[in-house]
Amino acid sequence: MEIILNVRLIKLAVDLNRGTLVKRLERKTTKEMLWPYILRLLQERPMYAYELRREVNKRFGWKPPMVTSYTVLYRLQREGYLTMEWKEQRGKPARKYYKITDKGQKLLKEAEEYFTDLCKRLFKKRASF
């Protein structure tokens, strides 16, 4: 009886933890890894920071934290993966527009190859013997 109860408790703990694990995976591949999303959007056209946050939410279904967005943009710019240009607006303050560089294109391509390979290896059906 005690063994059956322990097995049931273990199964319950695993089921409860499964949701936590998936949420952790989502956090790790979104909020903690914002740069591929930014570079992907900038492949289409230059954008300003708030616009990038809005587009990530619209296209990928999650909203990056404000501070994280600016930190990632700064690092990408500092490392040469994107450039920034001030653009004047009629009757409004100028905005910083970000544009992907050739170096950023190369980095995004490497990320795409990494994720494609990872998914193939992780989810590839194995032949049964």
* Per-residue pLDDT at 87 exceeds 90: yes
Query: Edge-to-edge, what's the strand order for the sheet holding 82-89?
Result: 47-48, 92-100, 82-89
Q: Is there a single domain that holds both residue 66 and residue 116?
A: yes
**Token pair of 91 as six digits:** 């009757």
Give, in degrees to the nearest 5, the angle at Cα 31 between 93 and 16. Answer: 145
Residues 46 and 23 in one domain: no
DSSP notation for 57-115: HHHHS----HHHHHHHHHHHHHTTSEEEEEEEETTEEEEEEEEE-HHHHHHHHHHHHHH
Per residue, what are the HEC states of 48-69? EHHHHHHHHHHHHCCCCCHHHH
Residues 40 and 60 placed together within one structural domain of the fold: yes
Asked if pLDDT for residue 102 goes beyond 60, the answer is yes
Domain shared by 43 and 65, yes or no:
yes
Pair (20, 50) in one structural domain? no
Mean pLDDT of 18-25: 80
Q: Are residues 26 and 44 in the same domain?
A: no
Confidence of residue 88 (pLDDT cuts 50, 70, 90): very high
* In-domain check, residue 125: no
Residues 4 and 50 in one domain: no
Average pLDDT of the segment spanning 105-119? 96
Whether 107 and 48 map to the same domain: the answer is: yes
Domain span holding position 20? 1-30
* Same domain membership, residue 50 and residue 19: no
Q: What is the pLDDT of residue 3?
A: 56
Residues 55 and 100 in one domain: yes
Q: Do 81 and 103 meet the contact criterion of CB atoms below 8 Å apart?
A: yes
C-alpha span between 82 and 99 (Å, rounded): 5
CATH number for 70: 1.10.10.10
DSSP single-letter state for residue 128: P
Residues 20 and 38 in one domain: no
Query: What is the number of domains present in the chain?
Result: 2
Which residue's entry shows tokens 């703990």? 13
Mean pLDDT, the chain, rounded, equals: 87
38: nearest Cα among 54, 25, 27, 22: 54
pLDDT, average across residues 45-54: 96
